[in-house]
């Protein structure tokens, strides 16, 4: 399956890119497993990083489906 | 009814309220309007701030703000809502956010305005990057109130 992964703000700078397109063979993957694929397997998901699927907040153990847009970002600071 | 808008250029909240209220055509229905305007300060965490960039997640921002306003509409008996938020380069004194709520009586307008603003602060996907003497820095969290 294929998914898009987006990064924002300080996280985008740390990773050095704003987006990845991923092809995942195994169709059974959670958001935190997606993070390990993009950030390197040794890096676990930081506690304060917010996780999103298709523009809705989800928990890190949420399942990702084919065609989903996953996003990772630091705490929000608008307003 | 409601209007959500992300602006890349500076805006004048007072003229936005005036023109929106005029085109609402609901004179006589609302007895109360509460508004909140947040503007850029020149000081944060005891350091002089000269510039600010506001980044957001296009699509999710609008969707999330729409969800917040829909929820407010369910919780209170509201007549209309206007939310505007800046992105891009912000200068000192520039308005960053406007939340404006119209209702029949004051309690709903005050409470819904506060609710929308607090939800926006804690959940809407915006990020501030400030320029200080030592360079640029990301604002790590919002103040509690």
pLDDT digits (tens, 9 = 90+) for B32-45: 999 999 999 999 88
Instruction: Enter the ipTM.
Output: 0.94
Question: Which of B60, B117, B139 shows the shortest C-beta gap to A77?
Answer: B139
The rounded distance, in Å, linking the Cα atoms of B33 and B31 is: 7
On average, the pLDDT of chain B sits at 96
Q: Are the C-beta atoms of residues A12 and A18 closer than 8 Å to each other?
A: yes
Give the CA distances from residue B21 to residues A35, A43, B3, B102, B132, in Å, rounded to whole numbers and listed in that order: 46, 51, 11, 9, 38
Question: Which of A6, A55, A78 shows the shortest C-beta gap to B126?
Answer: A78
Query: Could you tell me the pTM of the whole model?
Result: 0.94
pLDDT digits (tens, 9 = 90+) for B119-143: 999 999 999 999 999 999 999 888 8
Q: Which residue of A has its CA nearest to B86?
A: A79
């Amino acid at each position: 399956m294929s998914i898009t992964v987006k990064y924002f703000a300080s996280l985008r700078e740390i990773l050095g890119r704003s987006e990845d397109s991923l092809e995942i063979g195994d169709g059974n993957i959670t958001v935190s497993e997606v993070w390990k694929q993009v950030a390197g397997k040794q890096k676990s998901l930081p506690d304060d990083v917010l996780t999103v699927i298709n523009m809705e907040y989800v928990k890190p153990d949420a399942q990702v489906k084919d065609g989903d847009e996953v996003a990772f970002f630091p705490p929000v600071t608008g307003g | 009814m409601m209007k959500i808008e992300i602006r890349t250029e500076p805006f004048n909240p007072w003229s936005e309220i005036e023109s929106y209220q005029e085109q609402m055509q609901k004179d006589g229905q609302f007895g109360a309007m509460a508004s909140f305007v947040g503007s850029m300060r020149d000081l944060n965490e005891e350091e002089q701030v000269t510039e600010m960039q506001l980044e957001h997640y296009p699509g999710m921002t609008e969707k999330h703000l729409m969800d917040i306003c829909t929820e407010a509409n369910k919780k209170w008996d509201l007549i209309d809502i206007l939310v505007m938020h800046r992105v891009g380069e912000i200068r000192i004194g520039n308005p960053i956010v406007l939340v404006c709520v119209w209702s029949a009586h004051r309690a709903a307008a005050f409470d819904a305005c506060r609710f929308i603003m607090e939800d926006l602060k804690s959940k809407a996907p915006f990020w501030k990057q400030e320029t200080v003497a030592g360079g640029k820095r990301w604002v790590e969290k919002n103040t509690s109130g």
